[in-house]
């Protein structure tokens, strides 16, 4: 199982092209799983990189604090945000210098476009394509001379384990429809159980969920496939409540 196989290399090449044009990278990660949604396989260390832990409105507050400490200890610049945070507050946190040329990157669904649109605001004018570089690339200007690329770089990492696939499912980076291995759902459910403190086993939980939601097949039999689909979609959108899916002390920084 993987993300759009074949597109991964193409996406990496595109990001390398975009990187040539910028000196600052906003690496958007989902605050609920900042390690699983990291830019594994791409090196942004030569650029001024700011790790943006997004969606903190639906992440566990205490675990988000642990992550902020974790990144600070590694000497990284890290900020937290969420879609309804006022633009000016977000801009102050970013604290971009006048000469910043910015690219937003991240794995699917971390909120890159939402961030770009917020920064773009209504007043930011597009400054047009730069001649001589990749076609179709548009910049926009922020108040203080900062320029940003208005399309994000999408990262597709190598999904080397079921655990990683499960976390990407939980944050909505990997759509439910793309998962063809039932064990990924089981792993994701184990992670949910650990963080939510649920006791049920997989089948009992999803049977009850299906009954509660009226997701039934002919004869009133719980439709487990639909229940799984609905549940994981909702959890990724934060509808199940504030919940994180990994803590810094469980991840191996060497990975």
Given the complex with ligand GTP, which of 23 and 113 has the nearer CB atom?
Answer: 113
Q: 127 phi and psi, to 5 degrees? A: -105, 10
Q: Is 39 in the site for ligand GTP (CB under 6 A)?
A: no
Q: Which two tokens stand for residue 62?
A: 């205490």
Q: Is 54 in the site for ligand GTP (CB under 6 A)?
A: yes
DSSP letters along 124-177, please? PPEEEPPTTSSTT--EEE-TTS-EEESSPEEP-----SHHHHHHHHHTTSS-GG
Choice from 109, 146, 150, 245 touching ligand GTP (CB under 6 A): 109
Q: Is 33 in the site for ligand GTP (CB under 6 A)?
A: no
Output the CA–CA distances (angstroms, integers) from residue 66 to 60, 223, 235, in the order listed. 10, 38, 22
Q: Enumerate residues 142-201 that contact ligand GTP by CB under 6 A.
A: 152, 154
Closest CB 155 distance from ligand GTP, rounded Å:
9
Asked if 236 and 170 touch (Cβ cutoff 8 Å), the reply is: yes
Given the complex with ligand GTP, which of 76 and 239 has the nearer CB atom?
Answer: 239
Q: Is 38 in the site for ligand GTP (CB under 6 A)?
A: no
Given the complex with ligand GTP, which of 26 and 184 has the nearer CB atom?
Answer: 26
Separation CA 243–CA 236 (nearest Å):
10
Closest CB 222 distance from ligand GTP, rounded Å:
28
Q: Is 233 in the site for ligand GTP (CB under 6 A)?
A: no
Closest CB 246 distance from ligand GTP, rounded Å:
18
Q: Is 113 in the site for ligand GTP (CB under 6 A)?
A: yes
Q: Is 58 in the site for ligand GTP (CB under 6 A)?
A: yes
**What are the residues whose beta carbons fall under 8 Å from the beta carbon of 26, sequence distance 6 or more?**
49, 50, 52, 94, 102, 103, 104, 105, 115
Asked if 81 and 56 touch (Cβ cutoff 8 Å), the reply is: yes
Closest CB 201 distance from ligand GTP, rounded Å:
29
Q: How many CA atoms lie within 13 A of 145 on its CB side?
A: 4
Contacts with ligand GTP, residue ranges (CB under 6 A): 54-55, 57-58, 82-83, 106, 108-114, 152, 154, 238
């Amino acid at each position: 199982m993987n993300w759009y196989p074949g597109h991964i290399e193409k996406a990496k090449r595109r990001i390398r092209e975009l990187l040539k044009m910028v000196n600052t990278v906003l690496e958007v990660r989902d605050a609920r799983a900042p390690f699983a949604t990291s830019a594994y396989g791409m090196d942004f260390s030569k650029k001024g990189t700011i790790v943006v832990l997004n969606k903190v409105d639906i992440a566990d507050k205490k675990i988000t604090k642990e992550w902020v400490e974790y990144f600070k200890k590694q000497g990284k610049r890290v900020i937290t945000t969420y879609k309804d945070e006022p633009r000016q507050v977000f801009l102050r946190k970013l604290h971009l210098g006048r000469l910043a040329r910015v690219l937003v990157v991240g794995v699917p669904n971390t909120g890159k476009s939402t961030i770009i649109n917020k920064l773009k605001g209504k007043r930011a004018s597009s400054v047009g394509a730069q001649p001589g570089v990749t076609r179709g690339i548009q910049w926009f200007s922020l108040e203080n001379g900062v320029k940003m690329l208005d399309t994000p770089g999408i990262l597709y990492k190598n999904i080397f384990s079921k655990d990683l696939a499960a976390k990407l499912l939980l944050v909505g980076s990997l759509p439910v429809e793309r998962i063809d291995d039932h064990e990924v759902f089981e792993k994701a459910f184990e992670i949910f159980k650990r963080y939510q403190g649920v006791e049920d086993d997989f089948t009992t939980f999803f049977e009850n969920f299906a009954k509660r939601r009226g997701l039934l097949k002919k004869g009133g039999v719980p439709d487990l496939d639909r229940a799984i689909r609905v549940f994981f979609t909702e959890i990724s959108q934060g509808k199940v409540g504030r919940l994180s899916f990994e803590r810094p002390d469980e991840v191996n920084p060497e990975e």
